[in-house]
Amino acid sequence: MAIAGNPTGAPEDWPMPLKDDSPFSLLLLDRFEYGDSDDGNSRLWDAQGWYGGDYNKLWVKTEGEGPTGESLEVAETQLLYNRTFSPFWGWQTGVRYDIRPGEEDVAYAVFGLQGLAPQWFESDLALFVSEDGDASLRGEFEYDLLLTQRLKLQPRLEFNVSAEDVPELGVGSGLSNTEAGLRLRYEIRRELAPYVGVRWERLYGDTRDMARAAGEDTSRTSLVIGLRAWF
């Protein structure tokens, strides 16, 4: 029998239970960094945030980069619906829009999968289909190695694969590029952590040939300093 004043049947001085379907949110600035290489200095950001319940979320991702003191090379934004199908994984679908200063912007449909792979690798896989029907695949993987309670070493790998040549974007078919990184961060608080590290970027195949023909570098190593934060 329920006790008067509390429909759960618990004593009256007990707090009411939380609703399992209450929405919550997170904003993560994963990388906000300055890079220094033989080719010059660069700036980069990579952030994402979501709002929703345990199973359904609205997800926003944004990233961009470019030389310091000059226009960005590209600024990318994704607006996604995320549906959780297991404790550690969710399907994602939505749209992506790339702003490319001085060139035509590009829109994509997005079909993705994000979560924690075995051994706690943070994984993000996405298939992009442009408004012209060009398809590409991106994979991003991160892992936190706990050195002390505050000091963490994070290896990171990203790759991009294109199904066809897209000369207007400087992208060739096959594996187009990889970006690997190693960052050492110190958590002043769990929510705030400056870091230092190194980033390696490399082009491959037809993408590399297009870059060479345009007089651009096909690989780059950068020392980086940055900040990671979440709210």
Enumerate residues 6+ apart whose C-beta is below 8 A from 229.
28, 29, 32, 191, 192, 193
Contacts of 126 (CB under 8 A, 6+ apart): 92, 110, 111, 112, 113, 137, 138
- What is the tens place of the pLDDT at every residue in 9-53? 445 555 655 556 689 999 999 999 999 998 889 999 999 999 999
Mean pLDDT of the chain: 92
Q: What is the mean pLDDT of residues 137-156?
A: 98
Q: Which pLDDT score is estimated for 18?
A: 53
Residue 5 has pLDDT above 70, yes or no: no
User: Residues 6 or more apart from 165 whose CB is under 8 A from it?
Assistant: 171, 172, 173, 206
Could you give the C-alpha distances from 161 to 61, 137, 138, 165, 205, in angstroms and in order? 20, 5, 6, 11, 11
Mean pLDDT (whole number) for 176-188: 98
pLDDT at 4 over 50: no
The DSSP bridge partners found for residue 66 are 43
pLDDT band at 70 (very low <50, low <70, confident <90, very high): confident
Domain ranges of the chain: 24-230
- pLDDT single digits (tens) 79-99: 999 999 999 999 999 999 999
Q: Which residue has the higher pLDDT, 196 or 10?
A: 196
Question: 219-230 and 174-186 as β-strands: parallel, antiparallel, unpaired?
Answer: unpaired
Q: Looking at the predicted structure, is the pLDDT value of residue 2 above 60? A: no
Region for 209 from its dihedrals, namely left if φ exceeds 0, alpha if ψ lies in -120 to 50, beta otherwise: alpha
pLDDT above 90 coverage of the chain, percent = 83
Q: Which residues have C-beta within 8 Å of that of residue 92, sequence separation ≥ 6?
A: 59, 80, 81, 82, 83, 110, 111, 112, 113, 114, 126
The secondary element (H helix, E strand) that includes residue 166 is none
pLDDT band at 120 (very low <50, low <70, confident <90, very high): confident
The pTM is what? 0.88
Give the pLDDT confidence score for residue 105 in this predicted structure: 96
Is 24-230 in CATH node 2.40.160.40? yes
Region 93-120: mean pLDDT is 95
Least confident interval from 3-7, 14-18, 30-34, 71-75 = 3-7
pLDDT of residue 6 exceeding 60? no
